[in-house]
Amino acid sequence: MKKQVSQTISACSFYLRTINNISRFLPRPTKERVVNAIITSRLDYCNALLYGTSAVNIARLQRIHNTAARLITRSPRGDSATPLLRELHWLPIVCRVDFKLLVFTYKAMHNDAPVYLCELVCPYQPTRTLRSANNNMLQVKRTRTKAGDCSFAIAAASLWNNLPTVIKTCDNLTSYKRLLKTHCFRIAY
């Protein structure tokens, strides 16, 4: 993933410099739209593949995200980006990756995802009667490698099982996303 992350960072850095050159002429709402359209979309493109990648790659992408937040708010480089991300209601990169995986999982559970993803999600069915049988959990298969732990079937099941039951039992995608983002936001900040 190092090459993919490096190319993403290179493209985002170029566009951030370009946006910074014209940012004094743009009002804040317009800057937010431009950064969301160009930078955030690039950071979110295929970011579900970043699950389990090295902390170095995540930190590099987070630096770009922080720079984009500073550009919008016109904050100095030395200021902490955490309050800025909270003010903009942006999730950190790690949470964005988890969010996207959990949205894919929800769609797979409700047969709104492609068939190959739906087949990877297996509901938990205990062999005997347990209280956990009604918790809307997924079966987590055992793996022997780190790469196996990062596969969609394992990552989706482990993230899904850690969600509160209120979020897992949502009946439509819009309310699920809203509750999930609120949950991720509370965990991140």
For position 128, what pLDDT does the model report?
67
| Long-range residue pairs from 156-164, CB within 8 A, at least 24 positions apart, any chain | 156/101, 156/102, 156/104, 156/105, 156/108, 156/120, 156/121, 157/105, 157/121, 157/122, 159/98, 159/101, 159/102, 159/105, 160/102, 160/105, 160/109, 161/124, 161/137, 163/102
For position 148, what pLDDT does the model report?
78
For position 147, what pLDDT does the model report?
76
For position 8, what pLDDT does the model report?
95
pTM to 2 decimal places: 0.89
For position 86, what pLDDT does the model report?
95
pLDDT-flagged residues of the chain (< 70): 126-135
For position 50, what pLDDT does the model report?
92
How many helices (H) and strands (E) the chain has is answered by: 11, 0
